[in-house]
Structure 1
Amino acid sequence: MTNMQRGLAELLGTFWLVFGGCGSAVLAAAFPEVGIGLLGVSLAFGLTVLTMAYSIGHISGCHLNPAVTLGLWAGGRFPVHDVPLYVIAQLAGAIAAAGALYLIASGNADYSLATNGLAANGFGEHSPGGYTMQAALIVEVLLTFFFLLVIMGSTDARAPADHAPIAIGLMLTLIHLISIPVSNTSVNPARSTGPALIQGGWAIEQLWLFWAAPIAGALIGGLVYKALGADAKSRPDVTGDAL
């Protein structure tokens, strides 16, 4: 695949992750009487990764996440010279998705960006459950760490074939079930950046944590799996060394 094809795949995939996941939170979670709630939003995020993994995994590897890209590099699965291409594409997709979501949400007369937001990540008074910065930092590092273990383990050449997207999608669902109350769940700097740039204010001020913590967790996860898996490599039929 060419760099243009891989970059476009990452852009579209990340657009779908942010639009589908954050869209479920903004448009459907609090809908009167039939809102999908925390469970529905968690499933939505997992389903975006699952559907994109089967759609573009063979093109780009379906990272959809700067932390995943860097974690795979740390784990010896991804070349450093391709990291900027992927990160730029992921950020572009996330920002475009947040913009599209804002345009749709604004079609409701009762919607207010200041009041309803765009599912931005936050801590302290901006945490859904009122959790501190320390709590958000710890949960984001830990969950991204285990996310990388699942990604690298399920795509290992020795793992059962064809099931990696299911494992990774379910893992992302579980991650959201755990941490939505704490930080609104990031584990993905691109997912955090798109809504924060549109929402502005406190969301941008707190954005640093949702870059630092997921990247730290991903780098540790990549290094740990590299040590656990010895000379393990991703399956040879996989492009992009992720899915």
Structure 2
Amino acid sequence: MKLGGRLAVEGAGTAWLVFAGCAATALNASPPSQGCNTLGMAVAFGLALAVANYAAARAASAHFNPAVTIGYAVSGRFPVRDTGPYLAAQTIGAIVGAALLVRVASGRPGFSLAVSDLGSNGYDDHSPTEYALWAVFMLEAAVSFVFVFFHLLMSSRAERRKAAALATGACLAVVYLLAIPVSNGGANPARSTGPALFVGEWALDQLWLFWAAPLSGGAAAGAMYRLVSRRSRLVPAPVREGV
């Protein structure tokens, strides 16, 4: 597929991810308890990613996340020249998804962006459980590293790619189970940008962290994958007796 088609797939997939994932809380007329909110949002994001991956069928590499794209570029498995267009398509898609969510949510009496944060990410007073900036940064970088490294591993061999769509969706759900109480679940700069643009104020002020930490984690995962891949190619295959 040509670049234009791949960018369209990336944008559409990211829009779906943001809409479906953030809708788990934004469309609730009566906010559930923190535990139910965490589980519902994590499952929604995980299933949304799995659906997007299956729908894309590897047509666009199925990144839907700037941290993943950066990780693939650093690992040497994605052309650097396409990195900028991919990040732009993902961010635009996330904004479209958030705009659709705002439009739907505004149909409920009493809805207000001043009350609903649309699942925006934050730290300190805007962390769901008031985690400090440094703690949120460390967690966001760590879970992004794990997710991107797992993404790279699952797409590295043909036999793994058969289960990659479902496996990466499950991995994202686990990541969000960990991250939602701390930061409302980021690990994706595009996903963080969409809601933040509509919430404004504090969400935009704190958005820098949700680009810096995931991109740092994604780049580290790409570098680690590249190192591990090089070393594995230098290790000779074990010799079997009788072969």
Cα offset, 1:167, TM superposition: 1.4
* Counterpart residue identity of residue 111, structure 2: Y
| Conserved? CA contact 1:121–1:127, under 8 Å | yes
The answer to whether 1:198 aligns with 2:201 is no
Measure, in 2, the Cα distance between the counterparts of 1:215 and 1:89: 16
Cα offset, 1:145, TM superposition: 0.4
Aligned to 1:42: 42
Map 1:14-25 → 2, pairs under 5 A = 14-25=14-25
Aligned to 2:85: 85
Percent sequence identity is 41
Aligned to 1:157: 157
* Counterpart residue identity of residue 96, structure 1: V
The answer to whether 1:100 aligns with 2:73 is no
| TM-score, structure 2 as length reference | 0.91
Aligned to 1:240: none
| TM-score, structure 1 as length reference | 0.91
Aligned to 1:145: 145
Cα distance change on mapping 1:126 and 1:191 into 2, 3 Å:
same
* Counterpart residue identity of residue 73, structure 1: A
Map 1:1-243 → 2, pairs under 5 A = 1-28=1-28, 30-31=30-31, 37-157=37-157, 159-230=159-230
Measure, in 2, the Cα distance between the counterparts of 1:42 and 1:164: 18
Measure, in 1, the Cα distance between the counterparts of 2:73 and 2:151: 13
- Structure 1: which 5+ runs fail to align? 234-243
Cα distance change on mapping 1:232 and 1:16 into 2, 3 Å:
farther
Measure, in 1, the Cα distance between the counterparts of 2:160 and 2:100: 38
Cα offset, 1:166, TM superposition: 1.5
Cα distance change on mapping 1:29 and 1:155 into 2, 3 Å:
farther
* Counterpart residue identity of residue 101, structure 1: L
- Structure 2: which 5+ runs fail to align? 234-243
Comparing 210-219 and 116-125, the one that deviates more = 116-125
Task: Determine helix, strand or coil for the equivalent of 1:43.
Answer: helix
Cα offset, 1:31, TM superposition: 4.8
Cα offset, 1:32, TM superposition: 6.4
| Conserved? CA contact 2:71–2:219, under 8 Å | yes
Aligned to 2:237: none
Give the total of aligned pairs.
232
The structure with the largest alpha-carbon Rg is 2
CA shift digits 1:85-134 (9 cap, x unpaired): 11111011000111111111111112110111211000000000111101
Measure, in 2, the Cα distance between the counterparts of 1:203 and 1:147: 24
CA RMSD of aligned residues (A): 1.9
* Counterpart residue identity of residue 199, structure 1: V
